[in-house]
Amino acid sequence: MENNETYPRGGHQHPLLGNALLLKPGGGEFFLQLIEYSEVFRSLPLLKIWIGPVPFLVVYHAETVEPLLSSSKHMDKSFAYKFLHPWLGKGLLTSTGEKWRSRRKMITPTFHFAILSEFLEVMNEQSKILVEKLNIHADKGTFNCFMDVTLCALDIICETAMGTKINAQKNSDSDYIRAIYEMSDFIHRRQKMPWLWPDILFSNLRIGKRHDANLKILHSFTDKTIVERAEEMKNSGETENSGSRKTKKRSAFLDMLLRAKDEAGNGLSHMDIREEVDTFMFEGHDTTAAALNWSLFLLGSHPEAQKKVHEELDETFGQSDRPVTMDDLKKLRYLEAVIKEALRIYPSVPFFARTITEDCTIRGFKVPKGVNVVIVPYALHRDPEFFPEPEEFRPERFFPENASGRNPYAYIPFSAGLRNCIGQKFALMEEKVVLASILRNFSVQASQKREDLCLVGELILRPQDGMWIQLKNRKST
């Protein structure tokens, strides 16, 4: 790379392992190390590190991120994403080139507003179960809500993606649920440890054998669901043709994939469908759960903001227990600003990576083809140029009059450009429904201080020791 000497370096480089030996093994330590680098070198445009023989550039300025994400050229995911392939194949998250373009075009209509509204019933039902679980803790002191919220998000994505219930909120000990969480951990550990990269070595280690056992559980569950759903649709069609009436079953993302056709009129294969269903199960619950937990924590730390949310909810719902409607969601403007500000301070995906697919120039530096670029929303969202006093929680930043004119690449919790998150409307809708359900019933008080939280930045950003809060029942006061 030209101007090589002005790149900030991550310390001593080993000829084979690069900077990998300097990277902390734990998710929390590694993430804090990355953030420390970005803070120390904020005045410089790029940070360079080597993980094994692979060079990485770390970027965290809007003007550096924009040419990467706005381009139709640098759309390939980083080398590190290859470790997702055994589970997710080459679906929407991991595919490249023409396969990605055709698949994105085919799937985009499934996130139409009218279709999303059909998922609202599931979100309301699962939120109600969550409220019932949380009610056990109301007025009874401090408890860890992180997994309660996460299991609710898992139930929502499972039923909306696959059309089947796993009842995670009532049975969190299932093999499928355990496999999801173990796989996420294994993948992250492998991504940053070059000695685990060779498949032949990894598969013979204990971690590799656990990885493969979990893979069998995850794929078997998805395969069974696809076959059963396809058979149901076939039988339903036969019933309708025979003239008998049958109760309409809820739509699921899987149903739309089974019906989807490309421009040539070809449908998706079983493997294609499994890739996308597994991708949405992987991407669609942990990220949303993290956003919900961080929103609760920040509201519980800022009673003045929580009061505004309660006033908005009371104005919209009164004292009723009715489900949230699409019209209600449009009225919850302050709650939406709260969620967006929570995603600014604690983005669910704290960093992600792309591969440079042809020689280019970034901020005056010539970067050759093949270099991996790590984009760090956690650091990007703290640029005081766009967010004065960035550590302060101010939902008003996202009022239309305050957000107008802001560089769109200064805030990217769902990535940006052509390869932005296809499910971001779904995610915001789910977060508003779940938070509205919780806050209509409870007042929240955080039991941790921000400075005492240990952040773990792996595939998602989470607090190391959970999310500890107190709840007060609003209905009893």
With respect to residue 477, please indicate whether it lies within any of the assigned structural domains: no
Beta-ladder partners of 307: none
354 touches 78 (CB < 8 A): yes
Q: Residue-wise pLDDT tens for the chain (477 aa)? A: 444 433 444 455 444 444 444 554 444 566 777 788 788 778 777 888 776 666 778 899 999 999 889 888 877 888 788 999 999 998 888 888 888 888 888 888 877 777 788 899 999 999 999 999 999 999 999 999 999 999 999 999 999 999 889 999 998 778 998 998 899 889 988 887 888 999 999 999 999 999 999 999 999 999 999 999 898 888 876 444 444 444 456 778 999 899 887 666 778 899 999 999 999 988 888 999 999 999 999 999 999 999 999 999 999 999 999 999 999 999 999 999 999 999 999 999 998 888 888 888 888 888 888 888 889 999 999 999 999 999 999 999 999 999 999 999 999 999 999 899 999 999 999 999 999 999 999 999 999 999 989 888 878 899 989 999 999 999 765
In CATH, what number is assigned to the domain containing residue 391? 1.10.630.10
Q: Name the residue among 83, 75, 88 with its Cα closest to residue 280.
A: 88
Strands 54-59 vs 47-51: parallel, antiparallel or unpaired: antiparallel
423 touches 283 (CB < 8 A): yes
Binding residues: 421
Domain that holds residue 372: 4-118+141-285+344-419
| Residue 468 in tokens | 């500890």
Q: How far is CA 241 from CA 234, 235, 246, 250, 387, in A?
A: 11, 10, 11, 19, 59
CA distance 153 to 437: 13
DSSP three-state, residue 448: coil
The shares of helix, strand and coil residues in the chain, as percent rounded to the nearest 5, are 55, 10, 35
With respect to residue 294, please indicate whether it lies within any of the assigned structural domains: no
With respect to residue 134, please indicate whether it lies within any of the assigned structural domains: no
With respect to residue 433, please indicate whether it lies within any of the assigned structural domains: no
The DSSP secondary structure of 278-343, one letter per residue, reads: HHHHHHTTHHHHHHHHHHHHHHHH-HHHHHHHHHHHHHHHTT--PPP-HHHHHH-HHHHHHHHHHH
Binding residues for heme: 421
Dihedral sign of CA atoms 234, 238, 241, 243 in order: negative
Number of domains in the chain: 1
Which stretches within 48-93 are classed as H helix? 62-69, 85-88
With respect to residue 298, please indicate whether it lies within any of the assigned structural domains: no
With respect to residue 215, please indicate whether it lies within any of the assigned structural domains: yes
With respect to residue 258, please indicate whether it lies within any of the assigned structural domains: yes
104 touches 93 (CB < 8 A): no
DSSP three-state, residue 104: helix
CA distance 301 to 380: 23
With respect to residue 234, please indicate whether it lies within any of the assigned structural domains: yes
Other Cβ atoms less than 10 A from the Cβ of 72: the count is: 9
